[in-house]
Amino acid sequence: MIKKYDEAYAQSLENPDTFWGAAAEDCHWYKKWDRVLDDSNVPFYRWFTGGQVNTCYNALDYHVDNGRGDQAALIYDSPVTDTIKTYTYSELRDTVARFAGVLAAQGVGKGGRVIIYMPMIPEAAVAMLACARIGAVHSVVFGGFAANELATRINDAKPKVIVSASCGIEVSKIIPYKALLDGAIEVAEFKPEKCIILQREMEKAAMITDRDIDWMEAQAAAAPVDCVPVAATDPLYILYTSGTTGQPKGVVRDNGGHMVALKWSMKAVYNIDAGDVFWAASDVGWVVGHSYIVYAPLLKGATTILFEGKPVGTPDAGVFWRIISQHKVKALFTAPTAFRAIKREDPKALLMKDYDLACFQALYLAGERSDPDTLQWAETNLGVPVIDHWWQTETGRAIAANCMGLHAFPVKHGSPTKAVPGWDLQVVDESCNPVEAGKIGALVVKLPLPPGTLPTLWQNDKRFLDSYLEEFPGYYKTADAGFIDEEGYAYIMARTDDIINVAGHRLSTGAMEEVLADHPDVAECAVLGVDDKLKGQIPIGFLVLNAGVERSHDEIVAEVIKMVRERIGPVAAFKTATVVARLPKTRSGKILRGTIQKIADNKEWKMPATIDDPVILDEITDALQTIGLGQARS
């Protein structure tokens, strides 16, 4: 029997017009498209040219008009403020329509840019949807970004208005957003005309006369506005991602392809139907927050959770289980680092036993490699499928996944399963030649990319070509390395710059991390390559231990070195590891391997704008000194 996945995948590559045209019929269009896939300007492919839509209408008004007005659309759960608030589809539509009126009153219209710099509060989603309602282009900047990083985004996007809040909360610490915003505007070359500020009770901000507008006052006085039809190819948002030059890249997302692909993905990938409760434990400042906190669940008519808190510490490592149980969450999507933190604090999952999780059907992990040890811990304790899937800011959704709404394949630990329909995923060598099954190479996607992916970078077509299409002609460069096995399962081993060359042998640091993570005392780990005069590069490991481990660190290090030697072989030359209290990460949970590597190699490095806690780099520098790497701090 032909599996539903196999049928969908074949049609998506062989006849994308039919496949995506059928998916688009599930959305509301003011004017139907002229062409599903427009290949008249290769490699700048476009989807649903000639069509007119409105993403906000499809996410809110459509459901109200079709009888879902009283259903919960968004549940705000904030343990850091002890707040839970539910918005129905009708309430959320009305709130968004009124804030769209606030923006319109400031002269924001179709094509105008609005930067949103906010914590994880409902108003962040309201501002995003309000921009979509009037055809404006939003650019959400992760709340708490340093002033100079915010300034670079202001200069690039040139927003007419910035929407922000007086402050955010990191566990129990107050983050003064308004002060950061004022600092960014002061150093930015481009100056926004107005700033709309939501004053939060825990810290009120000083307002600047003639520039700053109080959110609540403006909202109360505004008249609601209707949705504005826009071209399917018009931009919905810009999301900045780090670039190798230090200048962020503005990933553009269109309206039509984005809407069609995300709504389709909710059932196909996550097995979520209208009325189900879906939770993406991320932040609206990241692509996951855009796609699966705000847009996809609402486009599908599901209920989405917006969580202001942390997996541990708000108040403990059981908060995820409390939210799943209390709000009847069917599926959770989060980063592996969240589960590593929970596992480290509560290795026996004792807190999980306090909650009824009968509603819960699947856990999805993405954002970084899901090490098999963490994945198996979650499987064992949750008793539901744990699905690793792989995607990027640029792609907007999964490239490879176990598509639970099409066909649930057996899980292979370490693999995000197979390419999602629409993605012609291949592995090639440095000369762009296909490699045999099981051999590591560059993971690339044959053009055209499916709908919902980046059509270009904001006002920079050349950089789009240089960054993604130049190295492998006819393909999109993911910049990830890995392989595809004989059954079509993809394995993402590392970023291509994390494949290290040890005495002529190309080795994956990700494969070594899998071995280290398998040690019973290791909660989290990282492996990276450092310069070596003899072998070119050698791997070193960093280990974060489970809470309560009292064994000798030297003993544990010796054990993991032996494990790597036994499982990967002496060729790995893995002889050095050190125990650290924590690993430096971005606020989205990604380990800053590149920064650690530069410190180890005595190379010039820049403090990453997205780092969660800069003090950790001092700790890493000291740890490197103990194993004879890097320079002592002055």
Residue 479 pLDDT more than 50? yes
Residue 495 pLDDT more than 70? no
Greater confidence, 248 or 285?
Answer: 285
pLDDT in tens, 542-583: 999 998 998 999 999 999 999 988 777 677 788 999 999 988
Amino acid at 164: S
Cis peptide leading into 43, omega within 30 of 0? Answer: yes
Q: Which structural domains are found in the chain, ordered by start?
A: 4-309+389-482 (3.40.50.12780), 503-626 (3.30.300.30)
Give the mean model confidence (pLDDT) for residues 312-324: 96
pLDDT value at residue 1 = 45
For residue 372, what pLDDT band results from cuts at 50, 70 and 90? confident
Give the mean model confidence (pLDDT) for residues 138-146: 85
Residue 533 pLDDT more than 50? yes
Q: In the numeric block, which tokens belong to residue 137?
A: 């282009």
pTM: 0.84
CB-neighbour burial class of residue 475 (10 A; exposed 0-12, middle 13-18, buried 19+): buried
pLDDT value at residue 247 = 72
pLDDT value at residue 631 = 64
Residue 504 pLDDT more than 70? no
pLDDT value at residue 308 = 97
pLDDT value at residue 365 = 92
pLDDT in tens, 279-309: 999 999 889 999 999 999 999 999 999 999 9
pLDDT value at residue 244 = 45
pLDDT value at residue 501 = 67
pLDDT in tens, 212-245: 999 999 999 999 999 999 999 999 999 998 654 4
pLDDT value at residue 242 = 65
Q: Find all residues with CB under 8 Å of 152, minimum gap 6, and list them.
A: 247, 248
Cβ atoms within 10 A of the Cβ of 13, count?
16
Percent of the chain with pLDDT over 90: 74
For residue 634, what pLDDT band results from cuts at 50, 70 and 90? very low
pLDDT value at residue 458 = 97
**Beta-sheet pairing, 303-307 with 72-78:** parallel
Apex 288 CA angle, 286 and 291, nearest 5: 115
Residue 613 pLDDT more than 80? no
pLDDT value at residue 506 = 57
- The C-alpha atoms of residue 261 and residue 453 are separated, in whole angstroms, by 9
Greater confidence, 492 or 278?
Answer: 278
pLDDT value at residue 246 = 52
- The C-alpha atoms of residue 10 and residue 333 are separated, in whole angstroms, by 27
**Beta-sheet pairing, 505-508 with 499-502:** antiparallel
Ranking 185-199, 226-240, 570-584, 617-631 by mean pLDDT, the lowest is 617-631
For residue 503, what pLDDT band results from cuts at 50, 70 and 90? low
pLDDT in tens, 390-412: 999 999 999 999 999 999 999 99
Greater confidence, 77 or 633?
Answer: 77
Give the mean model confidence (pLDDT) for residues 495-509: 65
Length of the chain: 634
Q: Find all residues with CB under 8 Å of 474, minimum gap 6, and list them.
A: 432, 446, 447
Residue 587 pLDDT more than 60? yes
pLDDT value at residue 496 = 61
Q: Find all residues with CB under 8 Å of 201, minimum gap 6, and list them.
A: none
Residue 171 pLDDT more than 80? yes
Give the mean model confidence (pLDDT) for residues 512-524: 90
Give the mean model confidence (pLDDT) for residues 497-508: 64
- The chain-wide mean pLDDT, for the chain, equals 92
Greater confidence, 496 or 554?
Answer: 554
pLDDT in tens, 41-52: 999 999 999 999
